[in-house]
């Protein structure tokens, strides 16, 4: 089987158990002093204004299954004008025959499209990835644990930071550096900021688990790594320590309440991958569109109850942490 198809089928059957967003609560207020029709879900990051604080995060390209998923994702993205991140361009960089599995989206989706490559790639690969789909933005993924567990994966990470720096300084579009479900600590975010990265997607644990997916592809699994990583909540708290860098959140976003909590922890927008993949697996496209609509309606409802009219104002909302999360903050000196 093709590697991307292994990842798709692995991710489809995952049912994550722990999600740190459950360690956070909002404080109820009996007098919200706003009305639902005043709530505006518009958000902005990088140089873009987006109608909802949500983008479809990188998944597919590079197989026939990937092509049909990309078609469906493009239909959803176009319906709501959501940014759509495509999966790693590496398959199309290696073999032209896979180009169409990525380019298919531009026939359907007229909004923002993000290209995606790994941090092992060089500037010429980044330029090719952008060019092949005329991307508005480039995501560079950092996925060391996945590579180490992947039987055929990368083992040498000495050039990643230099590769990222060269790409960030030379490509004609904005860049996001993203994880793939293992999260980021404050020192990673500081290092990325120091080389000119303006936006990170912390993509923490709590959702799609690539340690598990790659371990299933190994004859002798590294089972102790199945719980490796920082959660999305921990990563957001870490990233908040670094000033003047834009933070996006992905990893285990399940519903509108998680989106609201991520915004409160400083995310400008959230990315969802696994949720869309499983929705498409379980429902016809029309229902997925209705369920996405419902997600936004519920987010508006939560914001109304919190008395908040804008996405920017969400970061001023106070939340309560449970004792484990409080303990994490204390140990890591997170203020
Ligand atoms: C099937 C699948 C394929 C993925 N492929 C990529 C990829 O090519 N590049 C990338 O940066 N992230 C990739 N991801 C990771 C997601 O972008 C995201 O960081 C991660 O799945 C956590 O989000 P989630 O819990 O909403 O799925 C993939 C995720 C899934 C489910």
CA 260 to centroid of ligand 1, rounded, Å: 21
Closest Cα to atom 22 of ligand 1: 251
Cα distance between residue 194 and residue 182, in whole Å: 21
Write the class of the CATH domain 3-331: alpha beta
Cα distance between residue 27 and residue 87, in whole Å: 38
| Residue 229 near ligand 1, beta carbon < 6 Å | no
Which numbered atom of ligand 1 lies nearest the CA of 250? 23
| Residue 7 near ligand 1, beta carbon < 6 Å | yes
Closest Cα to atom 1 of ligand 1: 8
Which of 6, 12, 21, 57 has the most ligand 1 atoms within 8 A of CB, as the residue to mutate?
A: 57
Write down the pLDDT at residue 150. Answer: 96
Helices (H), the chain: 3-12, 64-80, 90-94, 99-103, 123-133, 144-149, 160-170, 186-194, 210-215, 232-239, 256-264, 274-282, 285-306, 323-331
208 phi-psi bin (left φ>0, alpha ψ -120 to 50, beta other): beta
Write down the pLDDT at residue 335. Answer: 83
| Residue 54 near ligand 1, beta carbon < 6 Å | no
| Structure letter (DSSP) for residue 86 | P
CA dihedral 46, 266, 279, 142 (to 10 degrees): 60
| Residue 140 near ligand 1, beta carbon < 6 Å | no
Cα distance between residue 3 and residue 261, in whole Å: 34
Which numbered atom of ligand 1 lies nearest the CA of 87? 8
Write down the pLDDT at residue 18. Answer: 87
| Residue 208 near ligand 1, beta carbon < 6 Å | yes
In 3D space, the residue among 97, 7, 19 whose CA is nearest the CA of residue 253 turns out to be: 19
- Angle of helix 274-282 relative to helix 285-306, nearest 10 degrees, comes to 130
Cα distance between residue 44 and residue 311, in whole Å: 9
| Residue 84 near ligand 1, beta carbon < 6 Å | no
Write down the pLDDT at residue 141. Answer: 98
The answer to whether 54 and 267 are in contact (CB under 8 A) is no
CA 123 to centroid of ligand 1, rounded, Å: 22
Tens-digit pLDDT string for the chain (335 aa): 689 999 999 999 998 778 999 999 999 999 999 999 999 999 999 999 999 999 999 999 999 999 999 999 999 999 999 999 999 999 999 999 999 999 999 999 999 999 999 999 999 999 999 999 999 999 999 999 999 999 999 999 999 999 999 999 999 999 999 999 999 999 999 999 999 999 999 999 999 999 999 999 999 999 999 999 999 999 999 999 999 999 999 999 999 999 999 999 999 999 999 999 999 999 999 999 999 999 999 999 999 999 999 999 999 999 999 999 999 999 999 98
Write down the pLDDT at residue 288. Answer: 98
| Residue 212 near ligand 1, beta carbon < 6 Å | no
| Residue 4 near ligand 1, beta carbon < 6 Å | no
Closest Cα to atom 5 of ligand 1: 59
């Amino acid at each position: 089987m093709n590697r991307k198809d292994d990842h798709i089928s692995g991710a489809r059957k995952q049912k994550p158990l722990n999600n740190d967003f459950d360690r956070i609560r909002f404080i109820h207020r009996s007098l919200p002093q706003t009305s639902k029709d005043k709530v505006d879900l518009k958000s902005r990051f990088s140089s873009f204004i987006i109608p909802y604080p949500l983008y479809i995060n990188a998944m597919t390209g590079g197989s026939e299954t990937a092509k049909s998923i990309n078609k469906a994702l493009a239909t959803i993205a176009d319906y709501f004008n959501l940014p759509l991140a495509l999966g790693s361009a590496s398959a199309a960089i290696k073999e032209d025959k896979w180009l169409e599995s990525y380019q298919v989206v531009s026939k359907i989706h007229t909004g923002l499209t993000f290209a995606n490559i790994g941090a092992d790639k060089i500037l010429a690969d980044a330029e090719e990835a952008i060019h092949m789909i005329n991307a508005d933005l480039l995501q560079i993924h950092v996925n060391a644990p996945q590579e180490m567990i992947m039987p055929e994966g990368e083992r040498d990470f000495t050039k990643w930071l230099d590769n990222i720096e060269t790409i960030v300084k030379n490509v004609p579009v904005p860049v996001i550096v993203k994880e793939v479900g293992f999260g980021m600590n404050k020192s990673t975010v500081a290092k990325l900021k120091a080389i000119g990265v303006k936006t990170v997607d912390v993509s923490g644990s709590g959702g799609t688990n690539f340690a598990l997916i790659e371990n299933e592809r190994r004859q002798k699994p590294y089972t102790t790594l199945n719980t490796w990583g920082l959660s999305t909540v921990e990563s957001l708290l870490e990233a908040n320590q670094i000033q003047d860098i834009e933070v996006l959140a992905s990893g285990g976003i399940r519903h509108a309440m998680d989106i609201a909590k991520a915004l409160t922890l400083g995310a400008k927008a959230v990315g969802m991958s696994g949720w869309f993949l499983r929705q498409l697996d379980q429902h016809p496209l029309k229902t997925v569109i209705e369920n996405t609509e419902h997600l936004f309606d519920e987010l508006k409802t939560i914001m109304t109850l919190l008395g908040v009219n804008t996405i920017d104002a969400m970061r001023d909302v106070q939340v309560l942490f449970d004792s484990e999360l409080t303990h994490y903050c204390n140990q890591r000196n997170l203020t």
